[in-house]
Amino acid sequence: MAVRLDDKHVRDFIQPHELEAIQCQVEAAHQVLHQGTGLGNDFLGWLTLPDDYDKEEFARIQKAAEKIRSDSDVLIVIGIGGSYLGARAAIEFLHSPLYNNLKKDTPDIYFAGNSISSSALNDILSLCEGRDVSVNVISKSGTTTEPAIAFRVFKKYLEERYGVEGAKGRIYATTDKEKGTLKKLADEQGYETFVVPDNVGGRFSVLTAVGLLPIAVSGADIGAIMQGASDAAKAYANPSLDQNDCYRYAALRNILYRKGKAIELLVSYEPQFTMVAEWWKQLYGESEGKDGKSLFPASVTFSTDLHSMGQFIQDGTRNLFETVVLFDKVRSELIIEEDPNDGDGLNFLAGKPMSYVNRKAFEGTVLAHTDGGVPNLVLSIPEANAYEYGYMTYFFEKACGISGYMMGVNPFNQPGVEDYKRNMFALLGKPGYEAQKQALEQRLQ
Amino acid sequence: MAVRLDDKHVRDFIQPHELEAIQCQVEAAHQVLHQGTGLGNDFLGWLTLPDDYDKEEFARIQKAAEKIRSDSDVLIVIGIGGSYLGARAAIEFLHSPLYNNLKKDTPDIYFAGNSISSSALNDILSLCEGRDVSVNVISKSGTTTEPAIAFRVFKKYLEERYGVEGAKGRIYATTDKEKGTLKKLADEQGYETFVVPDNVGGRFSVLTAVGLLPIAVSGADIGAIMQGASDAAKAYANPSLDQNDCYRYAALRNILYRKGKAIELLVSYEPQFTMVAEWWKQLYGESEGKDGKSLFPASVTFSTDLHSMGQFIQDGTRNLFETVVLFDKVRSELIIEEDPNDGDGLNFLAGKPMSYVNRKAFEGTVLAHTDGGVPNLVLSIPEANAYEYGYMTYFFEKACGISGYMMGVNPFNQPGVEDYKRNMFALLGKPGYEAQKQALEQRLQ
């Protein structure tokens, strides 16, 4: 199996019979998920997506990516939440968090429309100066405030630089297949469009055009990504905890939650995983964080954060557990060399690969943290390539579906995200929201 | 006052008499801090640093920064924990998270030696190709594994490119004033050295040479930073909660903790604050996370993370509160323009500054989240400039000292950080750590 779960470091915290006791809940979750009888069953498209995705559209994605690579120095990806995190995570994971800074023969890829910061938007505008630009705007409806503001700015920018006609060939819209304001505009203008499927929620959408177009522009092999996801779908079809690491992950985190662990810390030892952890936080936080329940998802990158959050993890409030993601093989190796001087006392490491030291840091840490009362789940992944990315993505998505049903929530809605928007629209005086404005303003006095 | 605390949005959660009741504990914390009679009193140098810092060294920092700006395209800053986060946070805060990508007349600044990832180190090495490089290595002892490995690599790199003599003029060591292997090496080689003071812990060291040299290289006004910190030191000298927003922040977070809030989420609406939040996580996590106690420090950047963690915050486990940091004035503004088409329905915002929309997003969110049962503290800062950076830094540092004493811990040590290191050294076969190796390896089987 491509993703392997080692639960050795939770054995001081969880007895074998606890897994046995929860097996029937896992099976129940498996049934409602696969039979589509649970809450949120309108949004189960991600489950079979790795095999039944639209092959014609997939080919168009690859062609569009090729065109963008050939005529653009910069791709601006406009989207927020699930229309932002997946693609960015994949690009940093498959290349580097410094993708835009490193020498390469693919375009720089910047993400806009994921905040309301004018400073951030102006920065990205300034990066386009003197360089050829394409835009991929991603929004199911076209009216989400953040991407809509950014797209207004970039549409105008492209039209000024390339003319209205020229701009049309540089704008790619990923949106609803038939309705919504962005779809309407795209059809009027003749932008190439890709589909946000109706039955795939934003946080589960990275393996649709939402994620795949920007990822393909970065030069990553999106066919291999889908193959990895497809193999994972087959591997995680058996509801027995003995034979399904994905379900075992879901079960163990529920057990730990029920023992009072309130926080799950996703840990890695490679900075290229940091944005995947941000994607994971949305996946789990938004799927399970409702009805007053659920694990708070947080993340750290070690050893960096052993020198910031390490003290708390070792010895602070005992309300957390760690899920560590390891890679068997690193993207690029470095051998520590002998220094005749040895002033730093590191010669005992001479000739050793740095990845060996990083692995020993993990081993030392997992023992220290479990000694400190922090259970550790360990996920091992062969390497950070496209195939494994697809496999890992499906692992986390399916574990999330199972875990959410075990938690007793609807894992596929996000009603709480609307509350701030309603208030914001009222305070902004948006037509249709006038009623609450005054009452809200009073509360701000 | 430069930093203002608004506690209106905790009033549904905290009664006025609760602050009154805790005033005596604030005063007690103030006394032990200022009289130096509390735990960890060897590390109180940060308290008076904004006024009694070494002026001669400060001038040397500015001169060195000028030299680096004149002879280098890239500065590599090697350090971890407190020798990394402060400078990076300040540079992103004062310029942009895209500082290295934006056009500018100051060097790119990359941070190395803050992980054991060979991929990350190789990436940074590759960025140096064909560009003039200087290195600032920051380590009190010179033997911390991560920066020591990175410095070994970069020392050799500079010596190969510039010759042994040429390299000496490009290496700046920030280290102990007299002892340790880095100080010894620096003296032997004739590197210019700066001091990590004995009485300032790593996480409190950003206003020493540790932070100031890289910050000065970025072109920021470090004199203004120190002035801001000095003014904050004067402003927060009065122990009365009525007159000290810094102490009120410390008191309120302790009250919320004692009411069962386990997580403090530091929130901002500007991506340029994101790394400051990482610095804050070390400051609070490492100062207070001990003896099985303390708030788990986490952070989000809105509105980005309203579309990922927003659901959890609105409606998940009710174990958290938010501390929101706002800026009265943004770094750069953008006016939303009229669109004759208005397909996105945003014309009701035409003519409005984006910062106005961002402010309404905050207002809508603070009301939604408090309605959802999440107390909100709000800190307002005039703008993200050097003076306010210094002021804000001192605010958070002093609040941390007061809060830690109120929490009943030693806010200035970090014993738990050593545990993983001991294990790692044993597993790596470091001389002197042989005894535990076998026992640890057995536990990993």
List pLDDT tens digits, range A154-187: 999 999 999 999 999 999 999 999 999 999 999 9
CB contact under 8 Å between A308 and B290, yes or no, is no
Mean pLDDT of chain A: 97
What is the pLDDT averaged over residues A116-120?
98
CB contact under 8 Å between B286 and A304, yes or no, is no
**Up-side HSE of residue B110: CA atoms within 13 Å toward CB?**
24
CB contact under 8 Å between A357 and B149, yes or no, is yes
Q: Which of B57, B278, B286, B388 is the catalytic position?
A: B286
The residue of chain B with its CA nearest to that of A432 is: B348
So what's the pLDDT on residue B2? 87
Terminal-residue alpha carbon distance, chain B: 58
Query: Is the minimum CB–CB distance between A332 and chain B shorter than 8 Å?
Result: yes
Nearest to A208 by CA among A79, A110, A102, A347: A79
Contacts of residue B252, Cβ cutoff 8 Å, sequence gap at least 6 = B7, B10, B14, B19, B377
Query: Is the minimum CB–CB distance between B416 and chain A shorter than 8 Å?
Result: yes
**Secondary structure (3-state) at A138:** strand
What's the farthest any 2 CA atoms get from each other in chain A?
Answer: 76
Q: Which of B8, B421, B434, B441 is the catalytic position?
A: B421
- Find out whether B45 and B197 touch, Cβ atoms under 8 Å: yes
What's B102-168 look like in SS3? CCCCCCEEEEECCCCCHHHHHHHHHHCCCCCEEEEEECCCCCCHHHHHHHHHHHHHHHHHHHHHHHH
- Find out whether A76 and A135 touch, Cβ atoms under 8 Å: yes
- All residues of chain A having their beta carbon less than 8 Å from the beta carbon of residue B307 are 80-82, 84, 114, 146, 202, 282, 417
Nearest to A89 by CA among A206, A172, A217: A206
pLDDT at A148 over 90: yes
Q: Which amino acid is at A68?
A: I
Helix pair angle (A145-168, B354-371), 10° resolution: 140
Spatial separation of the C-alpha atoms in residues A156 and A159, rounded to whole Å = 5
Spatial separation of the C-alpha atoms in residues B272 and B93, rounded to whole Å = 5
pLDDT tens profile A366-388: 999 999 999 999 999 999 999 99
C-alpha to C-alpha distances, B21 to B133, B240, B251, nearest whole angstrom: 56, 12, 10
Instruction: Nearest by CB to B309, from A82, A84, A281: name it.
Output: A281
What is the pLDDT averaged over residues A137-163?
96
- The DSSP secondary structure of B202-228, one letter per residue, reads GGG-TTSHHHHHHHHHTT--HHHHHHH
Q: Which residue has the tokens 């929860």?
A: A22
Query: Is the minimum CB–CB distance between A129 and chain B shorter than 8 Å?
Result: yes
- Find out whether A361 and B116 touch, Cβ atoms under 8 Å: yes
Q: Which residue has the tokens 């400073």?
A: A119
Does B286 participate in catalysis according to the annotation?
Answer: yes
Our CA-based measurement puts residue B167 at a distance from the nearest CA of chain A, in whole angstroms, of 16
Query: Is the minimum CB–CB distance between B145 and chain A shorter than 8 Å?
Result: yes
Nearest to A199 by CA among A208, A191, A190, A186: A208
The residue of chain B with its CA nearest to that of A141 is: B344
- Spans of all domains in chain B: 2-34+224-405, 46-219
CB contact under 8 Å between A303 and B372, yes or no, is no
The residue of chain A with its CA nearest to that of B307 is: A81
Q: How many CB atoms are closer than 10 A to CB B413?
A: 17
Q: Which residue has the tokens 């004018």?
A: A118
List the 193-252 stretch of B: residues with Cβ below 8 A of A: 202-203
- The DSSP secondary structure of A292-306, one letter per residue, reads T--PEEEEEETTGGG
DSSP state of B376: E
Query: Is the minimum CB–CB distance between A425 and chain B shorter than 8 Å?
Result: yes
Q: How many CB atoms are closer than 10 A to CB B383?
A: 13
Same-fold call for B2-34+224-405 versus B46-219: yes
Instruction: Nearest by CB to B80, from A156, A297, A304: name it.
Output: A304
Instruction: Nearest by CB to A344, from B152, B367, B427: name it.
Output: B152
Mean pLDDT of chain B: 97
Statement: the pTM of the whole predicted model exceeds 0.90: yes
Q: Does domain B46-219 have CATH number 3.90.1150.10?
A: no
So what's the pLDDT on residue B434? 87
pLDDT at A1 over 70: no
- Find out whether B10 and B373 touch, Cβ atoms under 8 Å: no
Does the ipTM exceed 0.90? yes
The residue of chain B with its CA nearest to that of A415 is: B311
**Secondary structure (3-state) at A402:** helix
**Up-side HSE of residue B5: CA atoms within 13 Å toward CB?**
24
Q: How many CB atoms are closer than 10 A to CB B160?
A: 10
Spatial separation of the C-alpha atoms in residues A340 and A197, rounded to whole Å = 61
Per-residue pLDDT of chain B (445 residues; tens, 9 = 90+): 589 999 999 999 999 999 999 999 999 999 999 999 999 999 999 999 999 999 999 999 999 999 999 999 999 999 999 999 999 999 999 999 999 999 999 999 999 999 999 999 999 999 999 999 999 999 999 999 999 999 999 999 999 999 999 999 999 999 999 999 999 999 999 999 999 999 999 999 999 999 999 999 999 999 999 999 999 999 999 999 999 999 999 999 999 999 999 999 999 999 999 999 999 999 999 999 999 999 999 999 999 999 999 999 999 999 999 999 999 999 999 999 999 989 899 999 999 999 999 999 999 999 999 999 999 999 999 999 999 999 999 999 999 999 999 999 999 999 999 999 999 999 999 998 988 999 999 999 9
Q: Which CATH architecture has domain B2-34+224-405?
A: 3-Layer(aba) Sandwich (3.40)
- The DSSP secondary structure of A49-69, one letter per residue, reads HHHHS-HHHHHHHHHHHHHHH
Question: Which of B205, B296, B365, B371 is the best substitution to test chain A (most A C-beta atoms within 10 A)?
Answer: B296
- Find out whether B291 and B282 touch, Cβ atoms under 8 Å: no
- Find out whether B204 and B397 touch, Cβ atoms under 8 Å: yes
Our CA-based measurement puts residue A66 at a distance from the nearest CA of chain B, in whole angstroms, of 24
- All residues of chain A having their beta carbon less than 8 Å from the beta carbon of residue B122 are 332, 334
Q: How far is CA A277 from the centre of its chain?
A: 7
Query: Is the minimum CB–CB distance between A157 and chain B shorter than 8 Å?
Result: no
